[in-house]
Amino acid sequence: MTVSEIIKEIKKKVYRPVYLLTGQEPYYIDQVSDYLIRNVLSPEEKDFNQTIFYGKDTDVVEVINACRRFPLMASHQLIVVREAQQMNEIDKLAVYAENPQKSTILVINYKYGTYDKRKKLYKSVQSCNGVVLDSVKLYENKIPDWIVSWLKIRKCTIEPAACMLLVEYLGNDLGKIAGELEKLIIALPENRKITTAAIEQNIGISKDYNNFELQKALGQKNVLKANQIVNYFAKNPKNNPLALTITSLFYYFSKVFILHFQEDKSKKNIASVLKINPYFVPEYEQAARKYNAPKTAAVISLLREYDMRSKGVGNSSANDGELLKELVYRILH
């Protein structure tokens, strides 16, 4: 089942005996688990009918004994096992899942890995009419659409550049992104639109000196702007790690390289092939004009070279700031 399907059931007070919430993306696991905690029991009922365990501090027997109890002055009791991946012999919970208590709702939060489908617990949860959620990690190219959708539900919008800035610095950690978006929403003006300026003011990410702006400056061969950004990075290495910058530039120029070999140069096709927002297609087209295919390939080779040098291969003295300045000079010249 999907997260929306599970929550839709819960809203209708249709509860399953066991929820096995598993996968690499903790955000969706927490979303379902927290929704159950907020909505199954009233505040008065929670005192006697809600128990939260932590995998490393409990064992299977203790959880099963709790599940076998009857609720007190409530229709259900809720048992939640957080960080279940740290519990020893967790698969033995299959004994309970094979014959669950009708008035108990057991929620198993198994994070940062997918529970083995061949194991008894997985099969038992399915056979007892329980729910298995496979919470899959989103690829970074899917995150901008996720951010737009998340904000749309809350009747907010975001500038494409601001969206890319968030992805650049927060990656694909949905929990962290959602947390930062919550902060931004509180400070939003009446038009409910998130801008790069709002991100700089409320999160502390510079709207002018970041990897996204460095990509743009290099794509335009704007020597002055590129050097300003590089000098800023060199003075703030902790906030702008070289490894992250090289990775960002590698993906950027790889897309420019792919663009050179597209027969269909329409905006729609380029956006689809490069997996970018159509808003940014002109930027990549401009970069392709500045860097022909051989030059783009040479830039990608440079990035690989400096990635190795940043790890100490063929580099005995230059620090990260010096390496970045040298790399950018060679890209531009």
Whether 316 shows a pLDDT value over 70: the answer reads: no
Whether 228 shows a pLDDT value over 70: the answer reads: yes
In this prediction, residues 16-26 reach a mean pLDDT of 96
CATH says 140-203 is which class?
Answer: mainly alpha
CB atoms within 10 A of CB 273: 14
For 4, 168, 171, the CA distances from 143, given in Å and listed in that order, are 18, 10, 8
In this prediction, residues 293-301 reach a mean pLDDT of 97
Given a contact cutoff of 8 angstroms between Cβ atoms, the answer to whether 196 and 161 are in contact is yes
Q: Where in the chain is the domain with CATH 3.40.50.300?
A: 3-135
pTM: 0.79
Match 């800035």 to its residue by tokens: 165
Give CA–CA dist 283/236, Å, rounded. 27
Confidence of residue 204 (pLDDT cuts 50, 70, 90): confident
Quick one: pLDDT at residue 169? 84
Given a contact cutoff of 8 angstroms between Cβ atoms, the answer to whether 168 and 213 are in contact is no
Residue 91's nearest CA partner among 114, 68, 124, 133 is: 124
Match 């690499």 to its residue by tokens: 24
Confidence of residue 147 (pLDDT cuts 50, 70, 90): very high
* CATH number for the domain running over 3-135: 3.40.50.300
What does the mean pLDDT of the chain come to? 93
Give CA–CA dist 181/199, Å, rounded. 9
CATH says 211-332 is which class?
Answer: mainly alpha
Amino acid at 250: F
Tokens of residue 299, six digits: 């830039």
Q: Where in the chain is the domain with CATH 1.10.8.60?
A: 140-203
Q: Where in the chain is the domain with CATH 1.20.272.10?
A: 211-332
Given a contact cutoff of 8 angstroms between Cβ atoms, the answer to whether 153 and 31 are in contact is no
